[in-house]
Amino acid sequence: MQAAIEEFTDYLENIKKASRNTILSYRRDLLQLAAYLESQGITEPARVTRTSLNSFILHLENEGKAASSISRMTASIKAFFHHEVSRQKLRRDPSEALKPPKIEKKPPMILTVEEVERFLHQPDGGTPKELRDKAMLELLYATGIRVSELVSLQISDVNLQVGFIICRDGQKERVIPFGRTAGQALREYMNQARSQLTRDSEIPWLFTNCNGKPMSRQGFWKLVKYYGEKAGIQADITPHSLRHSFAVHLIRGGADLQVVKAMLGHADLATTQMYINYMQKDAMRLVQ
């Protein structure tokens, strides 16, 4: 299984030009499947059956894995075996009838404008680290980008003079403007703090940790939790909360849905439409 998984991830990287995060996610899921199948005496894709895959899904459920995690795992498995069949390594696809569990969609967690302002004011810029934190938080809310896109930004992706960033996800690229406040926070970070954190002018990454290494998604999540608690926000705030809040606040301000879709990088307008649905349900709740 290991060799087939590595060939599949090579295909994702070199042919499909998938993003690094997508490749790592598929590989992690498939290696977990391979480990389970090996414990059952199955070491080759050709020996995998519909029953053994269903058994793996049941194993994940018994372990208490979230429905969203199992759904993602199911997608990884189906993509892998579809690839094996297309390469004529398998005659039949054992994952063809595999179905993901139903996921109960929770409404997005939206911060009020006042909560966002209070949250963004928590890093006061007294240290290089706080200047970095403020720049990251301001940019995240000003652009609505994903946390993976934020930590992947390089200096060359930022145009401070005009006020935009370039986000890349695989072969896709989008240009996103940011306002004066985020621009000021970025200038202060880049002029006063970044060199003290990196200590190496050759490092391309825009945001680094205190050791000069690229900021990780997990590290940034901890920062968001910390400043959320410091701001006294009771809700379980995440980086995605700022993305959702950015979208809703834009739409409430009169922004065109297609513009918001482009800024968020949604492939389908229906995904962006969920913010309209949320606003309508929220309005109904308030009048009841």
Q: What is the pLDDT of residues 204-238, one digit of tens each?
A: 999 988 888 888 888 999 999 999 999 998 888 88
What's the confidence (pLDDT) of residue 69?
87
| Assigned domain for 101 exists | no
Residue 62 identity? N
Residue 169 belongs to what H/E stretch? strand 164-169
What's the confidence (pLDDT) of residue 190?
92
Do residues 150 and 7 both lie within one domain? no
Do residues 208 and 280 both lie within one domain? yes
Q: Which domain holds residue 233?
A: 113-287
pTM for this prediction: 0.65
Low-confidence ranges of the chain (pLDDT < 50): 283-288
Do residues 57 and 131 both lie within one domain? no
Tell me how far apart the alpha carbons of residues 46 and 219 are, in angstroms, rounded to a whole number: 40
| Assigned domain for 272 exists | yes
What's the confidence (pLDDT) of residue 284?
43
For 140-163, the pLDDT digits (tens) are 999 999 888 999 999 999 999 999
Count other Cβ atoms within 10 Å, centred on residue 234: 8
What's the confidence (pLDDT) of residue 216?
87
Do residues 273 and 154 both lie within one domain? yes
What's the confidence (pLDDT) of residue 1?
87
| Assigned domain for 120 exists | yes
* Number of domains comprising the chain: 2
Do residues 139 and 241 both lie within one domain? yes
Tell me how far apart the alpha carbons of residues 93 and 78 are, in angstroms, rounded to a whole number: 8
SS (H, E, C) 10-70: HHHHHCCCCCHHHHHHHHHHHHHHHHHHHHCCCCCHHHCCHHHHHHHHHHHHHCCCCHHHH
Do residues 148 and 219 both lie within one domain? yes
Do residues 81 and 25 both lie within one domain? yes
CATH number, domain with residue 77? 1.10.150.130
Query: Under 8 Å CB-to-CB from 133, ≥6 apart: which residues?
Result: 123, 223, 227
Do residues 70 and 127 both lie within one domain? no
Of 86, 105, 125, the one marking the end of a domain is: 86
What's the confidence (pLDDT) of residue 53?
94
CATH number, domain with residue 181? 1.10.443.10
Do residues 133 and 226 both lie within one domain? yes
Do residues 132 and 82 both lie within one domain? no
| Assigned domain for 200 exists | yes
Do residues 254 and 134 both lie within one domain? yes
| Assigned domain for 72 exists | yes
| Assigned domain for 98 exists | no
| Assigned domain for 96 exists | no
| Assigned domain for 239 exists | yes
What's the confidence (pLDDT) of residue 104?
64
Do residues 235 and 127 both lie within one domain? yes
